[in-house]
Amino acid sequence: MGLVIKAYIKKILFTFFILIASAILGSSLLSLVYCLPTDKITQHVASGVQTFLTEGATFEYASGYKSAILDNVTDAIMLGEAVFPSTNTPVSASMSAPRYIYSDSSSPELSLMAYINDNTTSERFIMTYPRYWHGYLIFIKPFFMFFDFSDSRIFHLGMQTILSVILICLFYRKGFRHYIMPLTLLLVLWNPASVGMCMQYYACYYLSFFAMIVILWKADSLLKNSFYFNILFLIIGICTSYFDFLTYPMATLGLPLCIWLLLVPYNKKNLLHLITNAIFWAIGYLGMWAEKWMISSIILKENVFQDALANVAFRTSTTVDADQINRIGTLCYIFRTLIKWPYVIFFGIPFVIILIMGLRKILRTNTCSISKQKYAKLLLFMLIALIPCAWFFVTANHAYVHPRLVYRNWGVSLFALFSGIIYFFNDFKQQN
């Protein structure tokens, strides 16, 4: 008993060590990039920022489709932070993420344009955003020292395509070729054309795909000890909190959980392990948020906790512009973004085909013995598919106001549903 308790204490201490080390590393990296000169960054941002004026705040290249919206407002905020002039206090700047706003500019992209054009006729103010980590700046600032906005879009389209190909190859290599179809449908739902063009959408795409690649690549090592997966999910949660601007974070939890479930052999403790992995992800995600608020409060000498918790209360409320919304209604509202004929065709036809082929396989066997393992794992896949529902239910205000950002969480439900059904109907044994 004593050895078991010691082992648990070691795991707890190691978990806290990773959390604390991540906050220190994340803060240090942000402080370092805030030491970079911004002349070149501003020059390269300026060469492509005209795109914002051409496209508008939320450019919608296919009317009525949330997947076809480019969130230029948030991209302008991110670039505004990137071009903010270097200061003598990079540590404070890294915690507050300052950017300029102009009194006669009604939106972030217009304020960014005003700063780029050195507008001296309008009064300007410094706006800060201390409750987020803004970890994306450790990549954006160095990138824009050498490349411009157009380069960024093409670069990330290429990178995301390469990651998709690598993941498909790993699926095939691990004997998961049947699950390439759910992955393809996931990409259809997410719309790579938008994800690759909008910086706001990068983080969760990269994190979820990198996580799936790591799990498949290092499966043999990770399967040796369930705690290895716990730590991996902890790190994924930490990175999501650090890099994501609150878009579709459930993708970084649900998609890796699906890959984990495909890899692990059936065990009565599968449900417990799934919940444990999710808890470690949540510890990393929420713990990293809390560390940011604490560090910012100390360095900036202001109560960031109060501001952050007020925003958490607001974003999880059922109030939108003084009107009351319904949590279940919000879930249905976000689901309606998928009720479009192309989605019905792309997702409905494969679903019906899989069901028909699966039922035929069952009926063609003389005796169909469906193991408890298949039922158990199918239920776990369905549990993962419900994760976005829980997220929308809790974050009702945020989901209702920002469907273009959050709808991609449905990718978890889509991938889990198709993967579960394919797993259930695969490899039935015929008995004579």
Q: Which residue has the tokens 């989605």?
A: 343
Per-residue pLDDT, 368: 54
Share the mean pLDDT of the chain. Answer: 91
Using one digit for the tens of pLDDT, what is the confidence trace for 22-68? 999 999 999 999 999 999 999 999 987 778 778 877 788 888 898 98
Q: With bands split at pLDDT 50, 70 and 90, how would you rate the model's confidence at 8?
A: confident
Q: What are the residue boundaries of the structural domains of the chain, listed by start?
A: 149-425
Q: Which residue has the tokens 């302008």?
A: 76
Per-residue pLDDT, 123: 82
pTM of the model: 0.94
Per-residue pLDDT, 3: 75
Per-residue pLDDT, 124: 86
Q: With bands split at pLDDT 50, 70 and 90, how would you rate the model's confidence at 421?
A: very high
Mean pLDDT of 326-340: 92
Residue 122 has pLDDT above 80, yes or no: no
What percent of the chain stands above pLDDT 70? 96
Q: With bands split at pLDDT 50, 70 and 90, how would you rate the model's confidence at 431?
A: very low
Residue 429 has pLDDT above 60, yes or no: no
Per-residue pLDDT, 63: 86
